[in-house]
Amino acid sequence: MTEITRVARAFLQDRDYQFDFEEEPNSFNFGLRLDNGNVGVRIICYDDKDFFMVFAFWRGKLPVKNIANVLPVINDINFSTRFTVLTVDPEDGELACHAGVNTDGLVEITPDMIGATLHMCVTCLDDNIDKIMQAAWNAPTTGGQLN
């Protein structure tokens, strides 16, 4: 086990997260209950390429027929946040936030790096889900057509 994977595992174990580990790629999978719902989280450690990614997936789905109404809201969120990217899958309405950290050249990888990246992703979803759902459910439908 290389350094990023070791530190990520230590971060999760020290905080008593219940997780599954997949060796290819080195990824940790678990769920979190937030103020505004639940997310699935995946931390992927690319030890040989010196970076890691955190993905947080909203457990609910957006109505596919209204996704075009949500895109301006997601664009505004992405424009106003740093280090995270919020995406929606137009095929199934899956909403996700992700961030990556390049560790090349760092003297040390710390658990706080893992924790801060995790926090950014889940907070982005938790803080914005009401605004996104309002756009999805209250806006006139476009019939699923992206303009």
Domain CATH for 22: 3.30.1460.10
The total number of residues shown for the chain amounts to 147
Q: What is the mean pLDDT of the chain?
A: 90
Predicted local confidence at residue 98, as pLDDT: 97
Predicted local confidence at residue 137, as pLDDT: 85
- Residue 37 main-chain phi, psi, to 5 deg: 140, -165
Residue 141 has pLDDT above 90, yes or no: no
**How many domains are contained in the chain?**
1
Q: Which domain holds residue 81?
A: 3-138
Predicted local confidence at residue 139, as pLDDT: 56
**Domain annotation covers residue 66:** yes
Stretch 114-121: mean pLDDT, rounded? 96
In percent, how much of the chain has pLDDT > 70?
93
**Domain annotation covers residue 147:** no
**Domain annotation covers residue 60:** yes
Predicted local confidence at residue 69, as pLDDT: 92
Per-residue confidence band for 145, with pLDDT thresholds at 50, 70 and 90:
very low
In Å, how far from its chain's centre is CA 27?
14
Distance CA(56)–CA(43), nearest Å, equals 9
Q: Beta strands of the chain (E only): which ranges?
A: 20-22, 26-34, 37-46, 51-61, 85-88, 94-102
pLDDT (tens digit per residue) in 34-90: 888 899 999 999 998 999 999 999 998 899 999 999 999 999 999 998 889 999 999
- Residue 4 main-chain phi, psi, to 5 deg: -60, -45
Per-residue confidence band for 102, with pLDDT thresholds at 50, 70 and 90:
very high
**Domain annotation covers residue 145:** no
**Domain annotation covers residue 144:** no
**Domain annotation covers residue 143:** no
Q: Which helix (H) or strand (E) holds 102?
A: strand 94-102
Predicted local confidence at residue 106, as pLDDT: 82
**Domain annotation covers residue 121:** yes
